[in-house]
Structure 1
């Protein structure tokens, strides 16, 4: 059971709890990207177990007629064991999702996994003719070239500022420079992509910039934000734009919850209030 202090950011232990949260979101015109928590497995058993749960999850989403998709992590699907393991499990999930008409996002992890993740995405996206998306990180110096390459790959691209604290030789560290790169990447995407743009940001300035690009170019896009972060803004934006909330669930909630708490002062204040008043 997820304790009250964490259930702002995590939907529950089980798929049923996650889908119930999705149902409540859909009632407020917000769609959901559902993620089973788990990462960096170095044994096959947890990889196989999570992959099987994702295949069941896409069937449950399709059967419930909810507005939802799924998101998977490469290291959750065995990338730390071997690229062949990751590709095999990813392909099986994408194939199952395609049968049910459910979209699959592939999360991006640290910079050492970028090539393997992009290569796997391109392979499955071309095989399926779409139905899958990838995340790119504005703080990585390589991302401008990656975004140009991805322009003709079927599927979607989520743009985020980036995390994981990569080394200076591969990434920008200055916040202003990362913001500049983020805007440049969005400009290119809105000018050269035929839709399929996910703006993954809670930054009001970046969301305003994206909506201005949309109004200027007419290119379709969606806004993606995390469960528990600026949810009032999510509901307000959903009155006018397509909004998706990233909805994590599962027993491995602790590390995810601590990351959310520590990354923003507002989240830390929430956790402290919950401890003091609980």
Structure 2
């Protein structure tokens, strides 16, 4: 059972609890991106189990009235084992999503996985147009070139600042430099992409910048935020824009929760405040 201090950020341990959370968020105009927690599997048994879990989740969504899609980490479905295993499992999930008229986001992990993730995305986005999207991190020095290539492909792109501790040889280190890069990447996307832009940020300045770019270019976009972070703002934004909430769930919640707390001390204060007001 997930303790009250953590359930602000994690929607229970089962797919059913995640669907129930999504149903509640939908009533507030917010769609959900469901992620069963799990990563860096070193054996095929776990990768296969989570692949089947996503296949089942897509079927459950197809048989429900919930507005939600799924998001998957490459190392969760086999990338740490073999690139071929990852691509085969991802293809199975994307095909199921296509059959169910749903959508799959492919999360981005550390820089050593970028090429394999983008290669898999390119192959599947071309085959299943409108069914798959990929995450790109603005702190990586390669990102502008990656975006130039992605602009010519079908599929959505989620831009985030980047949460991994990357070496200076491949990534920007200063917060101000990452913010500047995020702004520049957003400008490129709104100017060059036909659609499919996802602004993955809680930063009011970046969201405001995206809104201004939309007024200039009219390129369709959506805003994505984490469950448990600035939820009042999510509800407010949902009255004018398309908002998606990233909703993690599952038995592997402790590592995810502690990562959220380490990222920002405010997250722990939010959780404690939630407990005190229940």
Query: Would you say same fold, with TM above 0.5?
Result: yes
Contact 2:8 / 2:271 at 8 angstroms: preserved in 1?
no
Contact 1:74 / 1:107 at 8 angstroms: preserved in 2?
yes
Q: Which moved more, 1:126-135 or 1:213-222?
A: 126-135
Q: How does 1:1-278 map to 2 (within 5 A)?
A: 1-271=1-271
Taking structure 1 as reference, are residues 17 and 231 closer, same or farther at Cα in structure 2, changes over 3 Å only?
Answer: same
Q: How many residues end up aligned between the 2 structures? A: 278
C-alpha distance in 1 between matches for 2:91 and 2:169: 33
Contact 2:261 / 2:268 at 8 angstroms: preserved in 1?
yes
C-alpha distance in 2 between matches for 1:233 and 1:254: 26
C-alpha distance in 2 between matches for 1:77 and 1:258: 23
Q: Could you list the runs of 5+ residues in structure 1 that have no partner in the other structure?
A: none
SS of match in other structure, 2:270: helix
SS of match in other structure, 1:239: coil
SS of match in other structure, 1:33: strand
SS of match in other structure, 1:64: coil
C-alpha distance in 1 between matches for 2:125 and 2:2: 35
By how many angstroms is 1:264 displaced?
1.2
C-alpha distance in 2 between matches for 1:49 and 1:198: 29
For residues 102-122 of structure 1, what are the alpha-carbon distances to aligned partners after superposition, in whole Å with 9 as ceiling and x for unaligned?
100000000000000000000
Q: Could you list the runs of 5+ residues in structure 2 that have no partner in the other structure?
A: none
C-alpha distance in 1 between matches for 2:273 and 2:234: 23
SS of match in other structure, 1:188: helix
By how many angstroms is 1:252 displaced?
0.4
Contact 2:4 / 2:275 at 8 angstroms: preserved in 1?
no
C-alpha distance in 2 between matches for 1:35 and 1:276: 28
By how many angstroms is 1:275 displaced?
8.4
For residues 174-203 of structure 1, what are the alpha-carbon distances to aligned partners after superposition, in whole Å with 9 as ceiling and x for unaligned?
111111110111001001101100000000
